[in-house]
Amino acid sequence: MNTTAAPIRTATGCAHCGDDCPDEPLRLPAQPELAFCCAGCKAVYELLDANNLCQYYALGEERPGQKIKPVELPGRFDYLDADSVQAQLLSFRSAELARLTLHLPQMHCASCIYLLEHLYQLDAGVTEARVNFLRKEISLSYRPADTSLKAVVTLLASLGYEPQISLAELGAQPHHGSRRLYYQLGLAGFCFGNVMLLAFPDYLSFTDELAHAFGRFFGYLSLVLALPVLLYAAQGFYRSAWAGLRQRYINLDFPICLGLTSLFAVSSYEVLTQHGPGYFDSFTGLVFFMLIGQWVQQRSYDALRFDRDFTSYFPVAVTLLTAEGEKSVSVKELRVGQRIRVRNQEVIPADAMLMRGRGQIDYAFVTGESVPVAKVAGEVVYAGGRQVGEAVELEVVREVSQGYLTQLWNNPAFRKADQPTLETYANRVGRYFVAATLLIAAGAILYWYPRDEQMMWRAFTSVLVIACPCALSLATPFALGSALTVFGRHRFFLKNAAVAETLGRATTIVFDKTGTLTDVQRSAVEYRGPVLSAQEQQAVAAVAAQSTHPLSQRLLQELPASVLSVTDFVEVPGQGLRGVVEGMMVKVGSAAFVGAGAVPTAPANAASPAQGSNLGQSIEQSAGEPEINDPAADTTDNLQSRVYVSLAGDLHGCYRFRNVYRRELGPVLADLGRRYRLAVLSGDNDSEQDRLRELFGPEAELRFRQTPQQKLDYVAALKARGETVVMVGDGLNDAGALQQADAGIALTDTLTNFSPACDAILDAGSFGRFGSFLRFTQDCLQVVLATFVLSFIYNGLGLGLAVQGRFTPIVSAILMPISSLSVMVFATLLVRLAARRRRL
């Protein structure tokens, strides 16, 4: 018995993608010093070399290439030839020129920009390619006479940059971002600068004469300049406050608006009645600083844009069954009564009635529950489900509409009810702020009323003005904005700032086992049974290449590349694959499927001694975990999955997949175990219990043979006990639990693939830093609180002056910008410092 040990990383990295190469890497005859991990990477290198584009490898990251996925479904991009699809994708179209914007989530470094902007060298029909790196978009112009949309997209896909085209993209115009904020910022800055200039004489006593002479002119001019700030630049705050009020809810923007309004009203009154110069400089300055805060927030979110758009999960094209046969049409063209065919793993595009076939609908994207629901002919299936199993025929009962899709997305199952986030924490503070402000203002009136009526009004308005919690509103975006950037740098992407806060408060961390603790792509594969000839191996490879199942994909890495064609291919979900290769029936799958009574005991031979590198392929279900779609579902034991092979009816042998734990697991768990309660949920049996117990320590809870529902229930039970639960999973077969947890982190090897249920994505390569990430979130929370305290000190200082009626324009002009600026600087610097301390 020759067992392939857990793979040891070889020193040679692929010259294209940098992944580890197999023991005998592919090499170029011309440049034997370059090693490649797979034929796909080699092909890309040759293409770039031929076109003199090898600067790609000299820029930015070392070995910037994308691992090339070997699975090419024939006709995958055929729908791009359809006129209706083109009409929606292209932003401009004429006989000479077509233009469109595509989203390429794989873009990650300067080399990508270089390659993509030199696309015209690879396809002469492309006239221009411009990249927007932050949005990961490419704007392409091409001559339809020389090339086609399908050709361009196929080229991109062959380079490893497969565009993400989905329903959301259809009809999408190139992004203009939110320019409104820029206009508001520019206007506020302009007005602030000029008003401050006009207010200058008031700051200095020696210009008293000047102030007397021009006070009126300056006052009116300031009023005129402040007006557009109130009406246009400050719009966002009023909108947000009003939206909150309509839901009977006071958010932080409410006291801000209260302060801004009273500031403007008092200043206008003073100017118009010529009582004084007003506070227009403070007013415009405040709006300007708060807009800067919003801008920082938007920038950090923009850079880490989490495209959770529901419509992204919908297919663009569907197979329509017509009298003339199958036809590929755009989803938006679907009409009630039409017949469509949905194949294994395809998403159901519209509410439809099942006409033929056995439906197994997985609604994980809609409900977070991944156990498929069985449907029989005559039942209605809803859009958003994913068919698992044989191809089914459906009749559309409701057309696809954007509104309906959005409605589905807003399904309560997807919303996390009353999650106390930092935003609402700030809002909660805001509410007390309003109460305290009004109380103090009333107190000032009561105190001054019997003494000095003029002073009473002055104190009252000053209190409202100074209580504007603008510094408070700046604390969160600046502190957590910097934090998100730090995380992004280490390939840990949070959905929003609130997730950082939840992570900081976590008490329990629950891990899914397979795919999370184990590294599926490093699983060792061994072959048992009579040796397969090269021809037989190719036949098996040809069949395995037809399936996207992770085990098939993993198997494919072990086998030689195959050029044989397969006929009569059938994939029986949960069972295996079957196809005819050169007249020979090849079956790959579970023991029962291939007709094996017992494990063959013939001499074994290692199929391939080396560990191939990862596929970069999305792993839909982890090997080794019993799943409905797992070809080896019934043969899972001892962290192993077995795939049997039979050729022409004779059982030949089996491939065994053995998973290994992630390398950084030990140190990370040792670190976490000291600070958190840990738990493991596994769908497997308890054969690994001793090993896990050793890793997790005596206090951790280990649960085995958990169904997705049990995982979800366990997390729910923890939450009911008042724990703040962070769930770490692969985001695919534990979507329910991720959704249920306070913060669900999807650990993934491919960042472009994630579950909508998760709140954060962690690149598997950064798993070793997970402990530091959690410590850092706690630091960030403390920074935010410290900044709150700082801004309260400013407010308290101002209030002290205000109630005494000594809050003059000059005090305001000094105090307000200082408080805003110092909060921004303080928050940013402290977060940076914390990041350095945690070595992030």
Partner 1 sequence: MEIIFALITISLCVAVLFLLAFVWAVRSNQYDDTYTPAVRMLFDDPQEEKPAP
Binding site for partner 1 (CB under 8 A): 49-53, 55, 59-60, 110, 113-114, 117-118, 121, 130-135, 175-177, 179, 182-183, 186-187, 190, 193-194, 197-198, 210, 213-214, 217, 221
Tell me the DSSP string of 709-737: HHHHHHHHHHHHTT--EEEEE-SSS-HHH
Q: What's the min distance (Å) between Cβ of 194 and partner 1?
A: 6
How many Cα atoms sit within 13 Å of 309 on the Cβ side?
14
Would you say 135 or 398 has its CB closer to partner 1? 135
Identify whether the C-beta of residue 824 lies closer than 8 Å to the C-beta of residue 292: yes
Would you say 70 or 193 has its CB closer to partner 1? 193
Q: What's the min distance (Å) between Cβ of 137 and partner 1?
A: 9
Q: What's the min distance (Å) between Cβ of 172 and partner 1?
A: 15
Pairing of strands 126-132, 137-142: antiparallel
Would you say 222 or 387 has its CB closer to partner 1? 222
The dihedrals phi and psi of 451, each to the nearest 5 degrees, come to -100, -55
Identify whether the C-beta of residue 56 lies closer than 8 Å to the C-beta of residue 66: no
- Cα distances (angstroms) measured from residue 403 to each of 170, 335, 352, 580, 759: 15, 16, 17, 45, 24
Would you say 110 or 825 has its CB closer to partner 1? 110
Q: What's the min distance (Å) between Cβ of 520 and partner 1?
A: 34
Q: What's the min distance (Å) between Cβ of 480 and partner 1?
A: 21
Helix (H, G, I), strand (E, B) or coil at 71: coil
Would you say 130 or 703 has its CB closer to partner 1? 130
- Cα distances (angstroms) measured from residue 267 to each of 222, 280, 282, 805: 10, 6, 10, 16
Would you say 120 or 382 has its CB closer to partner 1? 120
Q: What's the min distance (Å) between Cβ of 118 and partner 1?
A: 7
Q: What share of the chain is helix, strand, coil (3-state, %, to 5)?
A: 45, 20, 35
Burial class (CB in 10 A: 0-12, 13-18, 19+), 446: exposed
- Helix spans in 204-321 (H): 208-228, 235-246, 253-272, 280-303
Would you say 141 or 419 has its CB closer to partner 1? 141
Q: Token match 């030990």: residue?
A: 666
Would you say 221 or 648 has its CB closer to partner 1? 221
Would you say 213 or 818 has its CB closer to partner 1? 213
| Cα-to-chain-centroid distance, residue 192 | 37
How many Cα atoms sit within 13 Å of 211 on the Cβ side?
17
Q: How far apart are CA 566 and CA 546, in angstroms?
A: 8
Q: What's the min distance (Å) between Cβ of 325 and partner 1?
A: 41
Would you say 288 or 655 has its CB closer to partner 1? 288
What are the residues whose beta carbons fall under 8 Å from the beta carbon of 414, sequence distance 6 or more? 366, 368, 739, 756, 757
Residues in a beta bridge with 588: 577, 645
